[in-house]
Amino acid sequence: MAFYVYLLASRKHGTFYTGVTNDLALRIHEHREGQGSAFTRRYHVFRLVYYETYPTPEEAIRREKRLKRWPRDWKIRTIEASNSEWRDLYEELNR
């Protein structure tokens, strides 16, 4: 089983949300259906722009906590290093 740390964005350089899950496709679907967090619902943060995979929940949670403390520009650079177009990666999960 894999565990994921993910970043959602409302749009390019928009509002960010950082989360952790063991079922990335399902969790993003929940966010899109309004069943995720109140924050993502309120600010319309549904675009999956970045994720990382970890073998244990402890590692994923540790990484999520670090990412949440990062300055905004570090998050932008991390996203753009692997997703310069800010594509919605959710569509690629279901291929």
Rounded to two decimals, the pTM is: 0.94
The more confidently predicted of residues 19 and 95 is: 19
Could you give the 3-state DSSP secondary structure of residue 45? coil
The more confidently predicted of residues 94 and 20 is: 20
Q: How confident is the model at residue 63 (pLDDT cuts 50, 70, 90)?
A: very high
Residues contacting residue 19 through CB under 8 Å, at least 6 positions apart: 5, 6, 8, 27, 36, 37, 64
Q: How confident is the model at residue 95 (pLDDT cuts 50, 70, 90)?
A: low
pLDDT (0 to 100) of residue 9: 98
What six digits make up the tokens of 20? 């952790």
Distance CA 69, CA 23 (A): 23
- Domain 3-93 class in CATH: alpha beta
Q: pLDDT digit string (tens) for 23-60?
A: 999 999 999 999 988 999 999 999 999 999 999 999 99
Mean pLDDT of 2-8: 98
- Which amino acid is residue 40, in one-letter code? T
Beta strands across the sheet bearing 16-21: 16-21, 3-9, 47-54
Percent of the chain with pLDDT over 90: 91
Backbone φ, ψ for residue 51 (5° rounding): -155, 155
Domain-wise residue ranges, the chain: 3-93
